[in-house]
Structure 1
């Protein structure tokens, strides 16, 4: 089963891995993502991940619920990001995705909300 938390851990927590190889492993070339109703393509997603990597010292992802059936995938997680200055930001994400036949994410829609970092 694909895992968005595994993909995020590699993208943000394993910064020594080349970004493009992580993207290729987890996301199709025509990947699209909507956060709060705004759609972006894979190129913009890659830009965002490049920028985020610069602001992340450590990432912790707690999967609250996860289910997959056929090409449908849903997950709820809490992500805590420690920045280089030691401050911690936390968000809860509700994810609904479509998975390609090869097991990579094809599209993803998410809603996020801030939660206490502790």
Structure 2
């Protein structure tokens, strides 16, 4: 069963995995995601991950709450992204999801709250 933390680690911090391998590991073939009210299908999500992998140097996730009930999954975390240009973005993310029978995410609905956005000094 995939968790958000495992997915983010593989997507952004595991260069041994291609984006496609990481997505296939954690997201089902019919995956859909709604972020702050906007829906993305799997191809759109894949394109966004490719772009983020090019711009994000490191992603750190701190899980604050996590609940699993069968295929239903809820989680709240802080994600701290450091981009290659030194910009740092911290967000609190609220997630409600459903996993497929293989344990991969079939649907994620999330809302994000920007905590701070700053430029790191080299």
TM-score (norm 2): 0.91
2:3 aligns with 3
Is the Cα contact below 8 Å between 1:15 and 1:53 reproduced in 2?
no
Q: Over aligned residue pairs, what C-alpha RMSD do you find?
A: 1.4
* Structure 1 residues 1-118: aligned runs within 5 Å: 1-116=1-116
What is the CA-CA distance between 1:12 and the residue it aligns to? 1.5
1:17-67 per-residue CA deviation (whole Å, 9 max, x = no partner) reads 111111111010000000011111110000000000111111110000111
Following TM superposition, by how much is the alpha carbon of 1:116 offset from its aligned partner in structure 2, in angstroms? Answer: 3.0
* Runs of 4+ that moved beyond 6 A: none
- C-alpha displacement of 1:117: 6.1
Gaps of 5+ in 2: none
CA distance in structure 2 between the aligned counterparts of 1:86 and 1:34, rounded to whole angstroms: 28
Q: Which runs of 5+ in 1 are unaligned?
A: none
Q: Aligned partners of 1:117, 1:61: CA distance in 2, in Å? A: 16
**Comparing both structures, which one devotes a greater share of its residues to strand?**
2
Number of aligned residue pairs:
118
